Amino acid sequence: MKAPIKMSQNAIYVLATFFIFGAPTCQSYPGELIYSCAVKDKEWEGEYTPWSGNTKHAHAHLTFDDGPVLGETDIVLDVLKEYDTKATFFLRTDRMNKDTRYLVDRMINEGHTIGSHTSTHRNLQYGNQTILDEEIVDAHEFFKDYLGFQPKIFRPPYGGIDHRSHMLLEELGYTIIMWSAGCVDWWFTSEDKDLETSIAAMRYGLAEAGGIVCMHDDAESPNNGERLRKFLDDTWNFWQYVDFNTCIDRTDVDEGKVFKTYNEYQQAVADEAASMVATAKPSKKAFKETKSSKAK
């Protein structure tokens, strides 16, 4: 297990100052990049994810980017309520105003998690310091004025992040939440692709026991949310959709491990399998002693 990240005195000050307000809905691990849910050592009742075996909880978590959007986020929230599923909404502050305030209030009141998705959705990899301040810091301060507290999690637009933006986010106390599945729903919607093809593409990456699915409000809302409904219907028996806190829980996981990449997860599975083989295979000395005992 990797050593815990050491925070600077400034980061500790920021955490103590900013996050005492309001009621943020998740714990912060400043500077960490997370791609997946934690893998649980518990029996999973029902059908099993073939890649994870029958002793792992196949936890997954839904996330939605680019809201709040009038007439679209409403539908997403309605579907989630219908399926009794909690999600995380990564919000753009340029879309948060008095007209969309009721949507943000619904997210909070219905038990969803809120994260920052910058001010105007510019790619942080190609931005100078002015852009980073406008997209990250301005959004950070806006949330305080709008909600009374700042979120503890952040998703960079396009998944674009570099050393400068990463360091700034760490100083502000953010955990960076990426994804292991999805994030292509907008393309299938804009290209008017059939549901079966788009659902198959969205499921890709959920082979790992803990998946974080990236979706978009405007891509999941058409036709009264039929794409989101079908995605949930088709995957319901294989993955258990959980809230964000359960997704990244650190108290009941394999050595406190959250797999940051799918390759890391695969390596852990391979190491576990090799360990089981080594444990089950008797040593030559034990074999000789057993053979000698039988001869007597």
Helical axes 163-171 vs 9-18, angle rounded to 10° = 50
Give the CA distances from residue 140 to residues 73, 118, 168, 172, 283, in Å, rounded to whole numbers and listed in that order.
Answer: 22, 8, 11, 8, 59
Dihedral sign computed on CA atoms, order 259, 265, 271, 274: positive
How crowded is residue 163: how many other Cβ atoms within 10 Å of its Cβ?
Answer: 7
Active site residue 78: no
The catalytic residue among 57, 59, 61, 65 is 65
Q: Is-contact 161 125, C-beta < 8 A?
A: yes
Of 89, 103, 156, 95, the residue nearest 126 (C-alpha)? 156
The token pair at 183 is 């994030």
Answer whether 38's CB lies under 8 Å from 247's CB.
Answer: yes
- Cα dihedral 157, 162, 165, 169, rounded to 10, equals 80
Give the count of beta carbons closer than 10 Å to the beta carbon of residue 158: 13
Q: Verify whether residue 216 is a known catalytic residue.
A: yes
Q: Nearest CA to 240 among 101, 18, 37?
A: 37
- For the annotated catalytic residues, the residue numbers are 65, 216
